[in-house]
């Protein structure tokens, strides 16, 4: 009614996170004329360096990796037609248990109130109608994902805004199918040990606990291109080996849990903006 466009804000931890879990909704809603705002919290400096070099390996320069990943992120945003990119530029904390978790200036070491205050300013500026981030465990326990969740929920409390709020997730049925596809592409892959298999089985949610199923199949090509922009990161190579068609079959549905909503809309729903337009 005010002439302000509907706005989606996605808060992610690293360059490339925007593509895997929310690339489809970002592309779909951009195509529908909705303003799409991506907030990336870290510089990605703990990602893979040239030749797959890991932090601490010869040839891994965190500053150079961060610069490369910023360029890749900008290319991903172009593929997804993201309206606005905001980078908080905290130092990447690495995987849980890495020494980089304790580095001064790392996102994991940043007081939640500090990060939340910066994010709250962006929320006041963009006034998002929908906010998307991770659940309390960062989906799979990554410290920067957990911290992104914490500052997002704290920032919402600092503002007077009442957007619909969603956490990314994946239905257990899709996780099972994903495991089958991985084994199809890696026939020589050893069976995971029981503890690892049990941990994997706990990722995501039972299908009947998913509140929101958004079909983004028509935009899976853009999502694939966004991931391809981050080709320096080894974990993305598996997806790219599928090719666009198989990728779209597996990754064409994006799923969420709705945790805040003032519209009173019923669930399950198939649109993050249900009740807002």
Phi, psi of 197, deg, nearest 5: -65, -40
Q: For residue 213, what are the β-bridge partners?
A: 255
* Structure-token pair, residue 228: 């391809």
pLDDT at 233 over 80: yes
Q: Which helix (H) or strand (E) holds 250?
A: helix 237-251
Least confident range from 174-188, 227-241, 243-257: namely: 174-188
Measure the CA angle with vertex 60, ends 58 and 64; round to 5°.
145
3-state secondary structure of 258: strand
- Cα angle for residues 160, 165, 171 (degrees, 5° grid): 170
pLDDT at 194: 65
Per-residue confidence (pLDDT) for residue 239, from 0 to 100: 83
Residue 186's pLDDT is what?
A: 58
pLDDT given at position 187: 56
Question: 14, 32, 18, 2: which is closest to 272 by C-alpha?
Answer: 32
Q: How confident is residue 1, by pLDDT bands cut at 50, 70 and 90?
A: very low
Please give the full DSSP string across 170-232, using - where no structure is assigned. Answer: -BHHHHHHHHHHHHHH-TTPPPPPHHHHHHHHTSSB-GGG--EEEE-GGGHHHHHHHHHHTTT
β-strand pairing of 130-133 with 7-12: parallel
Q: How far apart are CA 154 and CA 257, in angstroms?
A: 18
Mean of all residue pLDDT scores within the chain: 90
pLDDT higher than 50, residue 20: yes
pLDDT digit string (tens) for 38-91?
Answer: 999 999 999 999 888 899 899 899 999 999 999 999 999 999 999 999 999 999
Residue 148 zone, left/alpha/beta (φ > 0; ψ -120 to 50; rest): alpha
pLDDT digits (tens, 9 = 90+) for 132-173: 999 999 888 899 999 999 999 999 999 989 999 999 998 888
The angle, 0 to 180 degrees and rounded to 10, between the axes of the packed helices 237-251 and 220-229 is 170
User: According to the model, what pLDDT value does residue 238 have?
Assistant: 78
Q: Which two tokens stand for residue 83?
A: 């309206």
Question: Could you read off the pLDDT of 250-271 as tens digits, one per residue?
Answer: 889 999 999 999 999 999 999 9
Supply the pLDDT for residue 91.
96
pLDDT of residue 196: 59
- With cut-offs at 50, 70 and 90, classify the pLDDT of residue 195: low
Is the pLDDT reported for residue 8 higher than 80?
yes
């Amino acid at each position: 009614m005010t002439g302000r466009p509907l706005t989606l804000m996605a808060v992610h931890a690293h360059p490339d996170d925007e593509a895997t879990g929310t690339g489809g909704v970002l592309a779909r809603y951009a195509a529908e004329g909705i303003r799409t705002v991506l907030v990336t919290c870290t510089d990605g400096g703990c990602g893979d360096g040239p030749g797959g070099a890991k932090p601490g390996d010869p040839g891994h320069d965190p500053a150079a990796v961060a610069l490369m990943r910023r360029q890749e992120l900008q290319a991903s945003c172009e593929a997804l037609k993201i309206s606005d990119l905001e980078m908080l530029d905290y130092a990447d904390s690495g995987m849980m248990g890495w020494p980089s978790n304790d580095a001064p200036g790392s996102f994991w070491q940043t007081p939640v109130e500090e990060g939340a205050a910066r994010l709250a300013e962006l929320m006041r500026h963009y006034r998002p109608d929908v906010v998307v981030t991770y659940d309390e465990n960062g989906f799979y326990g990554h410290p920067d994902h957990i911290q992104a969740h914490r500052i997002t929920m704290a920032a919402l409390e600092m503002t007077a805004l009442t957007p619909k709020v969603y956490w990314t997730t994946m239905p257990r049925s899709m996780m099972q199918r994903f495991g089958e596809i991985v084994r199809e592409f890696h026939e020589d892959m050893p069976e995971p040990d029981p503890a690892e298999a049990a941990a994997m089985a706990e990722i995501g949610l039972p299908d009947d606990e998913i509140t929101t199923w958004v079909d983004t199949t028509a935009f899976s090509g853009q999502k694939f291109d966004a991931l391809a922009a981050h080709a320096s990161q080894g974990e993305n190579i598996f997806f790219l080996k599928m090719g666009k068609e198989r990728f779209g079959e597996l990754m064409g549905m994006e799923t969420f849990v709705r945790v805040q909503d003032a519209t009173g809309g019923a669930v399950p729903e198939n649109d993050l903006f249900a009740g807002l337009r």
